Amino acid sequence: MTEHLLSWITFLPLIGMGLIFFVPSTNTALVKTIALIATGIPFLLATWLYFGLFSKTTGELQFVERVDWISGIQAQYYIGIDGLSLPLVWLSTLLLFIGVPASFGIEKSQKAYYALLMLLEVGINGVFVSQDYFLFYVFWEVMLLPMYFLIGIWGGPRREYAAIKFFLYTLAGSVLMLVAVVALRIDMGGIEGMQAPFSIPEMMAKAKAGLLTGAHLPFGGTLLGMQFTTWVFWFLFIGFAIKVPIVPFHTWLPDAHVEAPTPISVILAGILLKLGGYGMIRACFPIVPSAFHEFAYVLGVIGVVSIVYGAFVALGQTDFKRMVAYSSVSHMGYVLLGLAAMTTWGTTGAALQMFNHGTSAAVLFLVVGVIYDRAHHRDLNGFGGLSQIMPKYWALTTLGFFAALGLPGLAGFVAEAMTLLGAYESALPGMKTLVLISVIGIVITAAFLLYAMQRVFLGKLNPKYAGYKDMTPRELLCQAPFLFLCVALGIFPFFLTDVMRASIDQWMATMGG
Amino acid sequence: MSELSPYLADLPRLAPELLLTALALIVLVWDLVLRGRDSRKLGYLTLFGLVGTGWLLVQQWHAPTSTAFGMVVIDRFGTFFKLFTVGALAVVTLFVLSDRREKKHGVGEYFFLLIGAAIGIFFMVSTNNLVLLMLGLELLSLASYALAGFHKGSKRSAEAALKYIVFGGLSAGVMLYGISLLYGLTGTIDLAAMGRNAADGSSISLAAQFTASPVPVAIAVVLVLAGFAYKISVVPFHFWTPDVYEGAPTPVTTFLAVASKAAGFAALLRFIGALFMAEGVEVAVSAYAQRIGLLLALLAAITMTLGNLSALRQTNLKRLLAYSSIAHAGYALMGVAVMTSAGFSASIFYLAAYYLMNLGAFGFLLFFEGVTGSEDVDSLKGLGWRYPLVSCAMVVMLVSLTGLPPTVGFYGKYLLFYESVDAGYAWLAVVAALNSVVSLFYYFRVAKALFLTTVEDKPRVLQPVLTGIIAVLAVFTIVTGLFNRPLQEWANAGPASLHIPAAQK
């Protein structure tokens, strides 16, 4: 069982999807049950993996499965996890599992909805465990289709526009990625005795040894005056940056978030955005480390621009969900800043920030969902005084907001502080200035969250809303695990850092930093 | 008697062609006997005959390469395309049988013409002899003209046929002129002999002509290429495509888009392979391969871009698929342009993928014509919820056409990208990649219409045969995307049997 654990985690939802097809569409209870089981078991397995089986002492890949797949191009079914991917696998199984009960309010074509949700989970988990670039790319693209339909069918009024925009943006990124992967594959294929030219760890090893320089391509190491590694770096980086999303590739995100139904927004913000950051850590920077070092400062600048710009734009929003969406842009900027610093603290901070943003963004989107289900609008200026009638809601929202704005004692603080400290001690000249500028982002983040809180919860109660019920037990249960994580990881961040440490050390060594 | 015997000995090698010819004649005569009544029987007979032909072709696949009558080469390259033609023809026959709008016309001649076109394809893909190639191409074209105008009462069908004839006649003339120049320059009409120097000195090698003065040879080659470009609808010879595809009956459009286009590609691959890349081709000729390659690469880039951009504005699904097929000709041309054996394999693989996904897409079109009586994308609105199986299968086709994993379309594109980057055409790969993004936009207009809107319930129109075909094609599209070793090996057998040496790395 344990030797195929990762395959089970990845493909169980696919079995669930297959089963759902055979359920008559009137029997929605059975569909939901299957969906709960098909996402629940992977979550339990991932939990078992996280707390029981995974060895924290090694930075090597664990639970590796490796068999030949498409022999013509030497692509392999090669999966495995290390400390960087395990927390994200766990988070994604948790989010998708919570995503099922959070979707119980959806009435329209439920069978198709849960089937697509299952397919989405296959894609996400698959990306986190893939160690073969071809496999990675296949999973990466498999995610797009269910997401398109989930936004496009169950979304808000402008869902068609948002869905195709999401699809086009991410596809534009990933086709560039594909060209880069093809180039890498050709270069790897030319290396003497290469058995697995798509293997990501193998690429890292060759890159470290200075062998991955494009010497085996017809144009040699340079094309149009630019190094092969530079081309590959930017092609891959843009592919992942669109997913993160990083300014200026972020414009699909607010639209997708605003139109998507609540559970899909939660999954989108909670885990899909992490795929971009994870992709950079796993499949971009260590493969072309020389180009990364060359452009680290540029990445830091892009990160800070995202932090500050995202926060300022969020401040100007009147739509609750749009505000939260822009806050994601701002928060994901820290990931880039932390990685650009090339220090252990910065990298750890970036990895933490990915996980913690996953939980706090989930809380924020669930918060928006709660009020939207009652009021059917999200205009921040249209509310007021809700704290008087929905005390539980207010309390949970406050906790979520504080976690998001980085209040000490909550998870967001640890990650942001580590990122900024790591960036501050970076050897790169000018990094200190960037850190100082990014502090503006923190202030603005606090400002827009508190300002939103004031407009929604404080002040005089609008009599229109007087009849609203407080949160239902189902809503509370959906929020609970994320809030718990926000608090727990704020106090005991080593739950995450312990798992990551060995892998981050190894990663830093690979990067030569 | 003794003079005839070598010919008789060669005859069994043409068994598939002979069987098809016999089938065509039987269909024609039986239709006369039936006087247009109950022409479904002819369809079943055609299917039966196609199964037999397919079986004969499989036998040939395992037999060694041979030549019949000194003209017809029976090799794996040709057999591969013949098998796909038979498969496509079988699907098209099923389409005709299940076309709900076809009942008022007598469809007997339909099958006769389809089989006739297939015979043309059979000769076209398996000859090194330029005259026989031209004959095959003309047989295919003549049958296609009649097929395109098959709806005699319909104005658009008549217009399609006329346009097709005018364009076809023109390009056939251009091509024939090119062939005559080649013949004049070399004294042979055999491609293999043109590329190499004939041992007995009966012909002047192309190499000698190239060395003496490359311009006339270049003109001749470009003129012949123009003929192929018309058949595979490459820009700037694509103008007929949307109108003909739109006007012709849908099963005919399927045949033109799939079998006819692939046959054009097969002939093109053989032409270029024999002239510029085969073993023993003189250096003076193969030195020009790169230039021809660059020309084809430019044409590929322009074709896919123009095809995709034009498809963006289409509201008619049939026209949209027509422009999409132009774009796909551009993609498939990438593999030809790189002028390597692996590139040819990639091209052949992509054509196989193209067969699968376009048969599915056109089957879907036919299905919905049967339901709504319209070809507009807008009329598909909400139908996905009423016909979930067919519509899901169509989404698989769209994903594959766009080139997303885990489908065969993605794998085919991956191979093309790989070969173009490997041959130094990185820019072409980038252009093709960006084109995929553009194509997503219009392909998913169909998905959007199907699923993103809901309409009121109406009684369902059941078309079980079509549903079955489309579903099976969708399954194949995914399975061959994930596990494609046999298909890849078949595609690799093509360039090998054209005697194109694999690149030394």
Cβ proximity of B135 and B172 under 8 Å: no
DSSP string, B97-118: HH-TT-TTS--HHHHHHHHHHH
Q: Do B426 and A141 count as a contact with CB atoms less than 8 A apart?
A: no
Rounded distance, CA B228 to CA B268, Å? 6
Contact B433 A178 (CB under 8 A): yes
Between chain A and chain B, how many beta carbons pairs sit less than 8 Å apart?
93
pLDDT digits (tens, 9 = 90+) for A367-413: 888 888 888 888 888 888 888 888 888 888 998 898 888 888 888 88
Provide the mean pLDDT of chain B: 86
Measured between beta carbons, the chain A residues lying within 8 angstroms of B451 are 149, 152-153
- Min mean pLDDT across A82-91, A474-483, B11-20, B490-499 is at B490-499
Residue in B430, B448, B488 closest to A152 by CB: B448
Least confident of A329-343, B35-49, B410-424: B35-49
Residues of A in contact with B385 (CB under 8 A): 109
pLDDT score at A126: 93
DSSP track, A90-120: HHHHHHHHHHHHHTTT--S-HHHHHHHHHHH
Please indicate whether, in this complex, the C-beta atoms of B414 and A144 are within 8 angstroms of each other: no
**B409: distance to nearest CA of chain A, Å?**
12
**Nearest by CB to A218, which of B417, B423, B484?**
B423
Peptide bond into B236 cis (omega under 30): yes
Predicted confidence (pLDDT) per residue in A415-434, tens digit: 888 899 988 888 888 888 88
Residue A325: both structure tokens together: 């969406």
Chain A residues within an 8 Å CB radius of B433 = 175-176, 178-179
Out of A71, A160, A172, whose CB is closest to B452?
Answer: A160
pLDDT at residue B104 in the model: 53
| Length of chain B measured in residues | 505
* Residue scoring higher pLDDT (B456 or A94): A94
Which of A12-16, A431-435, A454-458, B35-39 is predicted least confidently?
B35-39
* pLDDT, position B33: 83
**In whole angstroms, what is the distance from residue A147 CA to residue A162 CA?**
11
Interface check B427 vs A, CB under 8 A? no
How far is the alpha carbon of A7 from chain B, nearest alpha carbon, in Å? 16
Of the candidates A109, A138, A159, the beta carbon closest to that of B385 is on A109
Angle of helix A411-424 versus helix A473-491 axis, rounded to 10: 40
CB pair distance less than 8 Å for A179 and B417 = yes
CB atoms inside a 10 Å sphere around CB B153: 8
Distance to chain A for B346, nearest Cα, Å: 12
Q: What is the total count of domains within chain A?
A: 1
Closest partner residue to A71 (CB to CB) among B385, B426, B485 is: B485
Q: Are A59 and A506 in contact (CB under 8 A)?
A: yes
Reply yes or no on whether the pLDDT at B186 is more than 90.
Answer: no
**Closest chain A residue by Cα to residue B402:** A171
Tell me whether residues A152 and B430 touch, CB distance under 8 A.
Answer: no
**A interface test, pick of B444, B455, B482, B490 with most A CB neighbours within 10 Å:** B444
Report the residue of chain B nearest A183, measured CA to CA. Answer: B421
Percent of chain A residues past pLDDT 90, beyond the cut:
25
Per-residue pLDDT, averaged over B72-85, amounts to 90
The residue with tokens 């090597």 is A60
Distance CA A121, CA A147 (A): 10
Compute, in degrees rounded to 10, the torsion defined by CA atoms B239, B241, B243, B248: 160
- pLDDT for A204 equals 85
Interface test with B, best of A20, A134, A175 (most B CBs within 10 A): A175
Yes or no, beta carbons of B405 and A138 under 8 Å apart = yes
What would you report as the CA-atom Rg of chain B, rounded to the nearest whole angstrom? 22
Q: How far apart are the C-alpha atoms of B339 and B346, rounded to whole Å?
A: 11
A136: nearest CA in chain B?
B405
Alpha-helical segments (H) within A342-472: 344-375, 391-405, 411-424, 431-457
Give the CA distances from residue B316 to residues B243, B377, B437, in Å, rounded to whole numbers and listed in that order. Answer: 11, 6, 20
Q: Which amino acid is at B364?
A: F
At residue B505 the predicted structure's pLDDT band, cuts being 50, 70 and 90, is: very low
Within 8 A of A109 by CB-CB distance, chain B residues are 385
Establish how many alpha carbons lie within 13 A of residue A502's alpha carbon, considering only the half-sphere containing its beta carbon: 15
Q: Is B392 on the interface with A (CB under 8 A)?
A: no
Least confident of B265-269, B282-286, B436-440: B282-286
Contact A179 B421 (CB under 8 A): yes
Q: Is this structure's pTM higher than 0.90?
A: yes
* Nearest Cα residue in chain A from B427: A179
Task: Name the closest residue on chain B to residue A77, using Cα atoms.
Answer: B482
Residue with tokens 């002819």: B42
Packing angle between helix A5-21 and helix A86-102, nearest 10 degrees?
20
With 90 as the cut, is the pLDDT of residue B495 above it?
A: no
Binary contact (A217, B429; C-beta < 8 A)? no
List the single residue in A with minimal CA-CA distance to B490: A72
Amino acid identity, position A132: D
Quick check: B406 and A176 CB within 8 A? Answer: no
How far from chain centre, in Å, is Cα A246? 12
A-chain CB neighbours of B478 within 8 Å are none
pLDDT at B397 over 90: yes
Note whether B424 contacts A219, CB cutoff 8 Å: yes
Residues B285-292 have a mean pLDDT of 80
Span B146-171, mean pLDDT? 87
Mean pLDDT (chain A) is 88
Q: Give how far Cα B115 sits from Cα of B89, B101, B245, Å.
A: 8, 21, 19
Distances (CA, A) of A201 to A236, A510, B290: 16, 10, 37
- Which residues from A are below 8 Å from B when comparing CB atoms? 70-73, 109, 137-138, 141-142, 144-145, 148-149, 152-153, 159-160, 163-164, 167-168, 171-172, 175-176, 178-179, 182-183, 185-186, 190, 217-219, 223
Omega before B406 within 30 of 0, i.e. cis: yes
Per-residue pLDDT tens over the stretch B189-214 = 888 878 776 555 556 677 777 777 88
Q: Which of B418, B437, B452 sits opposite A182 (nearest CB)?
A: B418
Average pLDDT over residues B18-37: 85
Query: Would an 8 Å CB–CB cutoff place B493 in contact with chain A?
Result: no
Burial of B258 (0-12, 13-18, 19+ CB in 10 A): buried
CA distance A168 to chain B (A): 6
Cβ of residue B441 closer than 8 Å to a chain A Cβ: yes
Q: What is the 3-state secondary structure (H, E, C) of A153-205?
A: HHCCCCHHHHHHHHHHHHHHHHHHHHHHHHHHHHHHHCCCCCCCCCEHHHHHH
Neighbours of A319 (CB within 10 A): 18
Question: How far apart are alpha carbons B435 and B420 in whole angstroms?
Answer: 15
What distances in angstroms separate CA B264 from CA A375, B205, B230, B261, B300, one per listed residue?
Answer: 62, 26, 9, 5, 15
Q: How far is CA B55 from CA A118, A224, B114, in A?
A: 42, 53, 19
pLDDT (0 to 100) of residue B200: 58
ipTM: 0.89
Residue with tokens 């923190």: A442
pLDDT in tens, A64-89: 888 888 887 888 899 999 888 999 99
State residue B198's pLDDT score: 56
Instruction: Give the C-alpha separation, A153 to B160, whole Å.
Output: 38
Q: Is the dihedral of CA A125, A127, A128, A133 positive or negative?
A: positive
* E strand segments, B195-325: none
Judged by phi (left if over 0) then psi (alpha if -120 to 50, else beta), residue B373 lies in left
Contacts of B171 by beta carbon, 8 Å cutoff, 6+ apart: B226, B227, B229, B230, B231, B237
- Domain limits at A55? 2-511
Q: What residue in B sits closest to A217 (Cα-Cα)? A: B422
Contact at CB, A171 and B440, closer than 8 angstroms: yes
Region B59-83 average pLDDT: 86
B22: pLDDT confidence band, cut at 50, 70 and 90?
very high
- In this prediction, residue A302 has a pLDDT band, given cuts at 50, 70 and 90, of very high
